Amino acid sequence: MEIVVSGIRPTGELHLGNYFGAVRNFLRMQYENQCYFFIADYHSLTTHPTPADLHGNVRRVLINYLAAGLDPDASTLYIQSDVPEVTELYLLLNMNAYLGELQRVTSFKEKVRKQPDNVNAGLLTYPTLMAADIIIHKAHKVPVGKDQEQHLEMTRTFANRFNRMYNVEYFVEPQAYNFGEQLIKIPGLDGSGKMGKSEGEGNAIFLSDSPEVIKKKVMKAVSDSGPTEPNQPKPDAIQNLFTLMEVVSSPETLDFFNEKYNTCQIRYGDMKKQLTQDMIQFTAPFREKINEIAADEAYLKKVVNTGAEKARESAAKTVREVRQIIGFRSF
């Protein structure tokens, strides 16, 4: 059984894009591999060093992922800052990471351009902290998006460099996790791009959204005046509506509105009403579970404490062995 590690940034609640993009695969993965899922609260400080409610953000993300189906009995679910061994390994890896290679990281250069007044050391050394998160559990695989591929490559570099410098075969060089299928890309409600909180609250349908909020968001989704000739190609904004319907509605419903579009009889108001109804029905189980878990403080505390204990057992062993390899000894 392979070890898999994946980080979750505490930047908001789960939306349909998150769920269909990766979370569904996490649910399967946790029963097929030895998985470590962690909420990356240290990482969040690189771009938001003075968060208004860090604990609240972590709590909401924890609740959402539990409600979505992450099983703390099948996997290890923990908060990054609850495992201090991560920061020690991060420090040790930084001793073997070079300024030039860190400055060349694409995401670092992009962040410098976007936030020139907040170019902190944590931002520069983000790849070494990510590497520590991964190799502290001797991970074989890491689920990553396109924006993280370079960081994973650097993780392999740091692991290999440690092995070469100390003449050991200690760290595994982790590879990207291949889900074995094409991930579903969920579009946003603004008519362009993917669903995401960064594009605005109204662009995403969150699993915790009330029926009233879902209705308001969907009815405001971008549309047009309709096709002017049969079987006309759908503009991006209209295709987005059909893609959303494809993931939450029945095939018969999708076929019905496709037929209406292709025969120039489409009424987007009717389509949005149906999409609203289907989204409310799809998200209802998640919403109920979120409310149930949020009210159970004892359960949340148990999940966090158990996850920290399991993660620390793995992490402490790695750090203890790394210290011995480097040459730290007790007198």
Provide the annotated active-site residues.
111, 194, 197
| One-letter identity of residue 221 | A
The single residue listed with the structure tokens 């920061």 is 87
**CB distance 118 to 295 below 8 Å:** no
Q: Which residues contact 202 (CB under 8 A, 6 or more apart)?
A: 189, 190, 217, 220
| 3-state SS string for the chain | CCEEEEEECCCCCCEHHHHHHHHHHHHHHHHHCEEEEEECHHHHCCCCCCCCCHHHHHHHHHHHHHHHCCCCCCCEEEEHHHCCHHHHHHHHHHCCCCHHHHHCCHHHHHHHHHCCCCCCHHHHCHHHHHHHHHHCCCCCEECCCHHHHHHHHHHHHHHHHHHHHCCCCCCCCCEECCCCCCCCCCECCCCCCECCHHHCHHHCCECCCCHHHHHHHHHCCCCCCCCCCCCCCCCHHHHHHHHHHHHHCCHHHHHHHHHHHHCCCCCHHHHHHHHHHHHHHHHHHHHHHHHHHHCCHHHHHHHHHHHHHHHHHHHHHHHHHHHHHHCCCCC
